[in-house]
Amino acid sequence: MADHFFTAEPTSADVRRTVGARIWGREYTFTTSSGVFSRDRLDLGTSILLREAPVPTTGGTYLDLGTGYGPIACALAVEDPEAQVWAVDVNNRALELTAENAKAAGVAERVHASLVEDVPEDVRFDQIWSNPAIHIGKPELHKMLLHWLARLAPDGVGWFVVGKNLGADSLQRWLGEQGYPCERIASAKGFRVLRVTATNEDPAPS
């Protein structure tokens, strides 16, 4: 059976390569491998997210949810020299690559490549960034988003990119129904970029 990028332990050979990307005016070279998301390039959705969402520079604590090989996490840490970035994934190979890429970018001490269960319960996030794994299915997607959105700081914000044909508009409505105000800030090449804000209300049952 072929690996999914959300497989915890990919069985495919760990064949590594490098890919280049330009993020927020800086050139990066990332190490990628088989068995991780978008191993051949910075994927289109992520590139649109990074183009449309504002560059954070406030010294916050950020979450890169579904980090893959770590392009968002590394860019956040480079742009914000006071930031602490938690780069979360279920794929152990992806986490190894994220750590390697953070070291290459000079931000290894501030990028924490972690499994979900390894993120301390008391950490709260000023921002969440994600190109979420829609293909895990709606029930698991909703469960994941509610888990992490509940850990936004009171003035926190989430930035998400979702394909229109993968349910971006229905996800936007659903987030609002859960008590998380959600607005579309951009649309490009079949993707929606969504801005989600924290809520002090109890979420509706999922």
Taking the C-alpha atoms of residue 199 and residue 201, their distance in angstroms, rounded to an integer, is 5
Least confident of 7-16, 60-69, 70-79: 7-16
- The predicted pLDDT at position 43 comes to 87
Model confidence at 147, pLDDT cuts 50, 70, 90, reads very high
- Residue owning tokens 């994220």: 98
| Residue 35 pLDDT exceeds 70 | yes
- The predicted pLDDT at position 165 comes to 84
Model confidence at 206, pLDDT cuts 50, 70, 90, reads very low
Q: What is the mean pLDDT of residues 19-25?
A: 94
Q: Which structure tokens are listed for 163?
A: 């394909």
Domains of the chain: 42-197 (3.40.50.150)
Model confidence at 119, pLDDT cuts 50, 70, 90, reads very high
Residue 133's closest CA among 163, 108, 113? 163
Q: Which structure tokens are listed for 130?
A: 């994600």
| Residue 204 pLDDT exceeds 70 | no
Q: What is the mean pLDDT of residues 22-27?
A: 96
